[in-house]
Amino acid sequence: MPTIYDDTHEMFRSSFQAFVDSEMAPHGDDWETAGIMDRSIYVEAGKHGFTGLAIDEAFGGGGTSDFRFNAVITEVLAGAGLGGAGLGITLHNDICSPYFIEYCNEEQQQRWLPGIASGELVTAIAMTEPGTGSDLQGIATHATRDGDEYILNGSKTFITNGLNSDLIIVVARTHPDGGRTGMSLLVVERGMSGFERGRNIEKIGQHSQDTAELFFDDVRVPAANVLGEEGRAFEYLTFNLAQERLSIGLYGLAAAEAALGWTVDYVQERTAFGSPLSSFQNTKFELADVATEIAVTRPFMEECILELNAGELSAAKAAQAKLWGSELQGRVTDRCLQLFGGYGYTTEYPISRAWTDARISRIYGGTSEIMKTIIAKDVLA
């Protein structure tokens, strides 16, 4: 089958697979129980060049804008069945780092990029609030200018890397009546006075991914920590949405492929009525459907990767990738779990974790309904 990956990407895949097998997989169950991945993994990943892929080599990064390397990381993490543990790394590389790369001034580059590249500074982005999900214009967290500082007040919730993070890009209203032009990106750093992390939110899936509430009570954020220009947060937040949504869609596809692989192995080993489950017509038909959906999805996703590399991936096409990939993930993990029977509902097999982890994919990064709205707007243009 033709592939967009060359030998360099496959060597990178082998290297990252070895890293996951030795440094992450043995601890997956412990992280699921603890509700958080060991923070040291970011540093270990950084030592091997798996964080900060797109950061310039002058700051210790990989110096590549080729998103195929990011896609390889996504595929390996999904295939390992690690639950939410891998999400922190993809968030750091695919979603947060681009904001620092694109909008840091020279002083901020020197201050933050080396640590982001090495994994010593774990990143997060805080948009969602208790009363505000997809409606960014409804954000209530606000920052008032006071000399060379901003006084930040408000709260955020459902923040991935909420506990492990050192640098949090906080979306805050800096002009009360500014509408879309009234919001800015402020980088809150670990240890700032008045900044508190709330509970690690208990979730039905993604247990090893720390997802926290954040509280800001008169936090004095230096004006030097404004990312980009004041008042342009809404514009900035749209620049990386295509990559973010493609990343989620790719994870959905990779998770579906992993689920299919586990299921094929299981039905060939498990017997019922004296015959392997794989011998029954229903099993064959289910696997045929799943395999076909995966097969026709991969070329589309790879086309999106190449378009992203070329700077040509449209918002509508990225929305299609996110919508289809996340919905595919949900359908496939559900159908595969059914073939495991009662064992699929236990934690003995990775399919159960994959099934519960899959549900959030249709919500974060923009719900399926929001994706359909974006796509329909393009169709009807």
Q: What is the SS3 string spanning the chain?
A: CCCCCCHHHHHHHHHHHHHHHHHHHHHHHHHHHHCCCCCHHHHHHHHCCCCCCCCCHHHCCCCCCCHHHHHHHHHHHHHCCCHHHHHHHHHHHHHHHHHHHHHCCHHHHHHHHHHHHHCCCCEEEECCECCECCCHHHCCCEEEEECCEEEEEEEEEEEECCCCCCEEEEEEECCCCCHHHHEEEEEEECCCCCEEEEEECCCCCCCCCCEEEEEEEEEEEEHHHEECCCCCHHHHHHHCHHHHHHHHHHHHHHHHHHHHHHHHHHHHHCEECCEEHHHCHHHHHHHHHHHHHHHHHHHHHHHHHHHHHCCCCCHHHHHHHHHHHHHHHHHHHHHHHHHHHHHHHCCCCHHHHHHHHHHHHHCCCCCHHHHHHHHHHHHCC
pLDDT in tens, 10-67: 999 999 999 999 999 999 999 999 999 999 999 999 999 999 999 999 999 999 999 9
User: How confident is the model at residue 381, as a pLDDT?
Assistant: 86
Q: pLDDT category, 1, cuts 50, 70, 90? A: low
Q: pLDDT category, 133, cuts 50, 70, 90? A: low
Q: pLDDT category, 134, cuts 50, 70, 90? A: low
User: How confident is the model at residue 245, as a pLDDT?
Assistant: 96
User: How confident is the model at residue 239, as a pLDDT?
Assistant: 87
On the question of pLDDT at 179 being above 80, the answer is no
Angle at 340 between CA 337 and CA 346, to 5 degrees: 80
User: How confident is the model at residue 363, as a pLDDT?
Assistant: 95
Q: pLDDT category, 86, cuts 50, 70, 90? A: confident
Residues contacting residue 204 through CB under 8 Å, at least 6 positions apart: 356, 359
Q: pLDDT category, 377, cuts 50, 70, 90? A: very high
On the question of pLDDT at 91 being above 90, the answer is yes
Structural domains in the chain, sorted by start:
7-122 (1.10.540.10), 124-232 (2.40.110.10), 240-379 (1.20.140.10)
Give the catalytic positions in this structure: 244
User: How confident is the model at residue 97, as a pLDDT?
Assistant: 97
Quote the percentage of the chain above a pLDDT of 70: 99
User: In the numeric block, which tokens belong to residue 24?
Assistant: 């992450």
For the entire predicted model, the pTM comes to 0.94
On the question of pLDDT at 277 being above 90, the answer is yes
Residues in the chain: 381
